[in-house]
Amino acid sequence: MVLQNQEAGPIHQSLVCNSCPKCNAQLETLENTTPDKMVRFCRHCNLTIVDEAEMAECPTKVCD
């Protein structure tokens, strides 16, 4: 997702780095992520993030 005429906010920056925006722990990408959605989970605070695949703030190294 490209932000126009503004800087990325802290939630955007966290998701791009695959960090939890609530507690800054590393997010885990769930195995059952569908082609149209990206589902990530924080084991530390139990936050679940569901992004539409087209608009997801995708880190470069989500899976091994």
Tell me if 43 is assigned to some domain. Answer: yes
- Classify residue 25: in a domain, yes or no: yes
Inside any domain, residue 48: yes
Cα 7 to chain center, whole Å? 17
Q: How far is C-alpha 53 from the geometric centre of its chain's CA atoms?
A: 11
Domain with 18 in it: 10-52
Residue 1 lies in a domain: no
pTM score above 0.75: no
What CA–CA distance (Å, rounded) separates 15 from 3?
A: 14
Q: How many domains does the chain have?
A: 1
Digit-coded pLDDT (tens) for 2-56: 444 456 688 888 888 899 999 999 999 887 767 788 889 999 999 999 888 676 6
Tokens of 61: 């190294």
Residues near 32 by beta carbon (within 8 Å), at least 6 away in sequence: 39
Residue 60 within a domain: no
Distances in Å between the Cα of 49 and the Cα atoms of 4, 5, 6, 58 are: 23, 25, 23, 12
Look at 22 and 61; give whichever has higher pLDDT: 22
**Residue 51 confidence (pLDDT):** 84
Whether 57 maps to a domain, the answer reads no
In a domain, 45, yes or no: yes
